[in-house]
Amino acid sequence: MNQARRSLLRGSVSTAALSVAIAAGILRPRQAEASALTLGVPDTLRALQNSNPIASSAIQIRAPDIAENGASVFIDFQCGLPHVDALVVFVDRNPQPLIAAFQIAPEVVPSLQMRIKVAQTANVWVVARSAGTFYRAARTVKVTAGGCGLGLN
């Protein structure tokens, strides 16, 4: 796939994720623009309605401790919080930390699986909004160089 096409696809996916976050009310347009340009997850988390998400053990993230191929890392997460209406997935240290945003019916118990790109050893963050309060959980994924277990970042 040529570089121009990859850039177009990457931009389209980022725009779609930000649009969902805006529609879900998680990010306001000005905050969405700021989060797209941020270098790290903490700045983006602070942009979430000026709140500091509460660490929660009710958000369970399953991911490999070591990923041999950072281009395709399987993650699975579940959220046991009641009345969750929005979820956002971030990977700090990625060029674009915002991975996905989901608007969820409050009656649903969220359980999602996906493959994501992790550029280097980083934390995978899941932020959930439940009854207007933000909660967070993180899991570290180490990415190997060449898939042989050497050169951990």
Do 99 and 93 contact (CB within 8 A), yes or no?
A: no
Amino acid at residue number 10: R
Q: What is the pLDDT of residues 118-139, one digit of tens each?
A: 989 999 999 999 988 899 999 9
Do 104 and 23 contact (CB within 8 A), yes or no?
A: no
Do 35 and 14 contact (CB within 8 A), yes or no?
A: no
pTM of the model: 0.68
- Cα 120 from Cα 110, distance rounded (Å): 27
Phi and psi torsions of 46, nearest 5°: -65, -30
pLDDT at 68 over 70: yes
Q: What is the pLDDT of residues 85-121, one digit of tens each?
A: 989 998 888 888 888 888 889 888 999 999 999 989 9
CATH class of 3-143: mainly beta
Longest dimension (CA), the chain: 45
What is the arithmetic mean of pLDDT over 57-62?
Answer: 97
